[in-house]
């Protein structure tokens, strides 16, 4: 949510900022803007809607520009104040000489606003960000130094922020600061960059400095200075970004989401690479610091996550309890942080996040660390805030995921839970050796089975076409595939805006069955191999008796189920315990094709953000 990019150098500043913002579009936004330092003036351009509107605005007004040498750009996802030009970033102080862009939420902005109004500041917008502009301008009037003004200002802010500030009187200088929101500096030759995420700068440089909380960066064409909250210089390590710009290309696919769905077999191979060598060798998780002594002290595991990662966590609960015999609790991060938990030094806390910057989960992890819990992080971003907080780490190696709706990162998280659970089982000795070999063998075969699903999607497309006009859906499953039902329903909601709900199949008759009629399709996930297969069949019979249209997702070769279900989507045979890694793929495709048939913006659904960096 929201994206920042800044640049100081000799390139075409407008082009650099627009490309950077384009590469951050996947985060979700409703307005865009930039401020340019141009021959002693600060010029601001803002538009509503997609970034193309800002591009058109700049093209129409390019005659106004002489030779911009630095600038800051922003795409906004509305929090305070509706999407509007006046609320769009950048924001200025009363005199218009100072400009600010901001990610995050300032919790005490109302109190600060009242103080600044008393000092004569005139507010134009409904945002919390404008408060920062007036505050920094007030401090600059005292200090006559932009770096000091920013540092003194952020000490008064409560909440989360990543900000970039420019001032007319301080040409070609960008001052950035952060707390509980990501910000990095890109290092170039005779040019430097500042951004909220790496895709904004990866086309130009792979050398980065990651700011930590309460740090301030002064960025010029030829220098970068980082200081702590007291003004002491901090020596920062330059890190090398692992991604290529090609990761931001659709490679011929119509949408990033479809590309990322098709990348999943290789993603699984990447996750397994170096961790699962063969079925006779133990799992190698070098960054997981759990040994027999630590495990002896554990009395439980808590997994905390949000959204799609929460569904991966639910599958993780089934996997770990089944393989390692350790009690596991799963909770939404947003709930965990606002209640009295039983977390202690005997608890393993697992935080799951695609971006590693999810605000609620970061807060939860910090609370867990305060209680001396061992923290293990599963994330797609080993350079993220959460990864830096980790005692143990599993990087999921999914590569950058551009589509807002998570697909390949979800599958990578699932595989990471399998590897972790097997690792724990090997340390504890809780699995039969032959069964353990079977599981490893099946894990290695998963990419091929998913490729089989992806090679023939005609039945899924036909199902999507048949059901795209329905306004409501119910997904049901039992056991480990309950997570699949919840995730499948979420995907449909996210990108098609169809009201879809996942249920434990046994709960259907405890309320939801009242909604069933010919207008309510029910999708049943039933994988043979355990006692739940027959149970889900029975629950589907109950739905059929209420005239609901039925869709089956199954690996069963039993043709008798064709008489019960209106549509049967079949996947390759797979062990039930490992089936979520395969069953999720047809549901991702089903959601994708329904959304495409309905003409929705698949990669950037309304109101959603890729990385939710506010609580």
The catalytic site residues sit at: 2, 610
Q: What residues have CB less than 8 Å from 281, skipping those under 6 apart? A: none
User: What distances in angstroms separate CA 134 from CA 36, 94, 118, 165, 282, one per listed residue?
Assistant: 19, 7, 12, 11, 59
Structure tokens at 72: 């800051």
Structure tokens at 361: 């989960």
Largest separation between any pair of C-alpha atoms in the chain: 81
For residue 34, list its beta bridge partners: 45, 73
Structure tokens at 315: 């599958």
Structure tokens at 176: 């950035």
Structure tokens at 69: 């040498």
Per-residue H/E/C for 355-372? CCCCHHHHHHHHHHHHCC
Q: Report the distance separating Cα 336 and Cα 360, nearest Å.
A: 9
SS3 state of residue 214: coil
* Count of C-beta atoms within a 10 Å radius of residue 599: 7
Q: Report the distance separating Cα 547 and Cα 568, nearest Å.
A: 17
* Count of C-beta atoms within a 10 Å radius of residue 497: 15
Long-range contacts of 395-400 (CB under 8 A, 24+ apart): 395/287, 396/271, 397/267, 397/270, 397/271, 397/273, 398/263, 398/267, 398/270, 398/271, 398/354, 399/243, 399/247, 399/263, 399/267, 399/270, 400/199, 400/243, 400/247, 400/248
Note the Cα 183 to chain centre separation in Å.
16
């Amino acid at each position: 949510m929201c994206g920042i990019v800044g640049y100081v150098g000799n390139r075409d500043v407008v082009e650099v900022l627009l490309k950077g913002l384009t590469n951050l579009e996947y985060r979700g936004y409703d307005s865009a803007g930039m401020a340019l330092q141009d021959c002693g003036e600060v010029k601001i351009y803002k538009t509503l809607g997609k970034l193309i509107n800002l591009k058109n605005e700049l093209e129409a007004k390019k005659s106004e520009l002489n030779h911009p040498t630095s600038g800051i750009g922003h795409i906004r996802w509305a929090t305070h104040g509706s999407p509007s030009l006046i609320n769009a970033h950048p924001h200025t102080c009363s005199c218009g000489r100072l400009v600010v862009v901001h990610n995050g939420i300032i919790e005490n902005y109302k109190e600060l606003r009242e103080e600044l109004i008393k000092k004569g500041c005139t507010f134009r917008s409904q945002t919390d960000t404008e408060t920062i502009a007036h505050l920094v301008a007030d401090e600059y009037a005292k200090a006559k130094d932009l770096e000091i003004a920013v540092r003194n200002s952020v000490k008064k802010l409560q909440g989360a922020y990543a900000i970039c500030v420019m001032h007319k009187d301080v040409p070609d200088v960008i001052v950035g600061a952060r707390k509980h929101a990501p910000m990095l500096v890109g290092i170039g030759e005779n040019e430097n960059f500042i951004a909220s995420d790496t895709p904004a700068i990866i086309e130009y440089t792979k050398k980065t400095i990651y700011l930590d909380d309460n740090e301030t960066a002064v960025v010029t064409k030829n220098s970068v200075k980082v200081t702590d909250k007291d003004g002491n210089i901090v020596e920062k390590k330059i890190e090398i970004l692992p991604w290529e710009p090609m990761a931001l290309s659709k490679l011929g696919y119509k949408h990033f989401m479809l590309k990322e769905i098709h990348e999943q077999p290789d993603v699984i191979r990447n996750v397994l690479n170096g961790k699962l060598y063969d079925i006779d060798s133990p799992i190698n998780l070098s960054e997981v610091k759990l040994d027999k002594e630590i495990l002896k002290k554990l009395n439980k595991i808590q997994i905390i996550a949000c959204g799609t990662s929460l569904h991966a966590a639910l599958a993780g609960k089934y996997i770990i309890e089944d393989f390692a015999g350790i009690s596991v609790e799963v909770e939404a991060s947003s709930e965990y942080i606002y209640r009295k938990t039983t977390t202690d030094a005997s608890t393993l806390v697992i935080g799951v996040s695609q971006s590693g910057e999810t605000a609620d989960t970061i807060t939860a992890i910090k609370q867990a660390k305060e209680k001396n819990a061992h923290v293990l992080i599963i994330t797609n971003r080993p350079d993220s805030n959460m990864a830096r907080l980790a005692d143990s780490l599993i990087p999921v190696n999914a590569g950058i995921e551009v589509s807002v709706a998570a697909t390949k990162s979800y599958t990578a998280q699932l595989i990471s839970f399998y590897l972790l659970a097997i690792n724990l089982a090997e340390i504890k000795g809780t699995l039969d050796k032959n069964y353990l070999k079977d599981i490893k063998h099946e894990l290695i075969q998963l990419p091929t089975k998913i490729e089989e699903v992806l090679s023939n999607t005609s039945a899924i497309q036909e199902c999507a076409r048949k059901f795209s006009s329905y306004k409501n859906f119910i997904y049901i499953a039992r056991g480990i595939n309950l997570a699949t039902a919840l995730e499948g329903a979420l995907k449909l909601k996210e990108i098609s805006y169809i009201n879809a709900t996942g249920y434990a199949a046994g709960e259907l008759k405890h309320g939801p069955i009242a909604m069933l009629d010919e207008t309510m399709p029910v999708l049943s996930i039933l994988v043979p191999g355990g006692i739940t297969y027959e149970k889900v069949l029975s629950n589907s019979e109950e739905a059929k008796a209420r005239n609901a249209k039925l869709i089956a997702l199954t690996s069963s070769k039993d043709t008798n189920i064709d008489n019960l279900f209106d549509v049967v989507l079949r996947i390759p045979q797979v062990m039930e315990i490992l089936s979520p890694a395969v069953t999720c793929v047809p549901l991702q495709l089903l959601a994708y094709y329904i959304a495409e048939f309905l003409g929705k913006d698949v990669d950037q659904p309304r109101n959603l953000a890729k990385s939710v960096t506010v609580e």
